[in-house]
């Protein structure tokens, strides 16, 4: 399995699961949020463009995001496949990704949607705020990110259901429990 997409609300634990899945499949985990944060830390042009949007919990404009993803997917370490975490986040981005993958000749193998209830997600983000001091982890910004997730990203799940690519993962319980559920899904998808 070489092209895997991870969907789920902010605070669902995507980052943690992404690195475990990537390790198991031997592919890089590509997180748009992480790439933006690294660019902000380094003070690059992309970082400067992204900062204000991220701090408000808004999407960074597609012109910036899509170009950044396209460049990242062309890097040598992505030649054998990749896991995408945080992209696509809208149906428009899903369409752009479809074209990028057509160009690369790589179909999507599976889309995993981690589902966690809203109270749990807010509790996890508040905990993360204390540990990591992310500037977008304040409660009003978190709530806004969740709203944007419902409006923009849930339709992406439907888009992939229609293509018979979506697998829903119960994101409740411990990190290891969620990983075990994901690995079971990956095994069953690989067999089919």
Question: How many residues sit close enough to ligand ADP to count as binding (CB under 6 A)?
Answer: 19
Q: Could you give the string, one character per residue 71-90, with x where binding to ligand ADP holds by CB under 6 A and - elsewhere?
A: ---------------xx-x-
Of 13, 17, 27, 36, the one binding ligand ADP (CB under 6 A) is 36
CB-wise, 58 or 120, nearer to ligand ADP?
Answer: 58
Q: Is 128 annotated as a binding residue?
A: yes
20 is known as an active-site residue: no
5 SS3 class: strand
Active-site residue among 14, 72, 124, 181? 14
Task: Find, among 98, 63, 93, the residue nearest to 155 by Cα.
Answer: 93
- 128 belongs to the catalytic site: yes
Task: Transcribe 118-187 into DSSP letters.
Answer: HHHHHHHHHHHHHHH--TT-SHHHHHHHHHHIIIIIHHHHHHHHHTT-EEEEE--S-HHHHHHHHHHHHH
**Which is closer to ligand ADP, CB of 49 or CB of 186?**
49
Contacts of residues 32-36 at CB distance under 8 Å and 24 or more positions apart, as own/partner, are 32/65, 32/68, 32/69, 32/84, 32/85, 32/86, 32/87, 32/89, 33/85, 33/86, 34/85, 34/86, 35/68, 35/72, 36/60
Site membership for ligand ADP, residue 153 (CB under 6 A): no
Q: Is 81 annotated as a binding residue?
A: no
Tell me which residues are annotated as active site. 14, 89, 128, 134, 145
Contact footprint for ligand ADP (CB under 6 A): 10-11, 14, 32-33, 36, 53-54, 57-60, 65, 86-87, 89, 93, 136, 145
For the annotated binding site for AMP, the residues are 32, 37, 58-60, 86-89, 93, 134, 145
């Amino acid at each position: 399995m070489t092209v895997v997409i991870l969907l789920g609300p902010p605070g669902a634990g995507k980052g943690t699961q992404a690195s475990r899945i990537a390790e198991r499949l031997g592919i890089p985990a590509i997180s748009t949020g992480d790439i933006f944060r690294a660019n902000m830390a380094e003070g690059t042009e992309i970082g400067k463009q992204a900062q204000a949007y991220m701090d408000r919990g808004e999407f960074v404009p597609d012109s910036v995001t899509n170009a950044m993803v396209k460049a990242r997917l062309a890097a040598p370490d992505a030649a054998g496949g990749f896991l995408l975490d945080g992209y696509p986040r809208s149906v428009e981005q899903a369409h752009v990704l479809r074209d990028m993958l057509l160009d690369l000749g790589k179909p999507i193998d599976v889309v995993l949607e981690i589902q966690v209830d809203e109270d749990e997600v807010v509790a996890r983000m508040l905990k993360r705020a204390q540990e990591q001091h992310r500037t977008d982890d304040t409660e009003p910004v978190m709530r806004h990110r969740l709203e944007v997730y419902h409006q923009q990203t849930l339709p992406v799940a439907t888009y992939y259901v229609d293509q018979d690519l979506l697998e829903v993962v119960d994101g409740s319980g411990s990190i290891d429990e969620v990983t075990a559920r994901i690995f079971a899904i990956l095994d069953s998808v690989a067999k089919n």
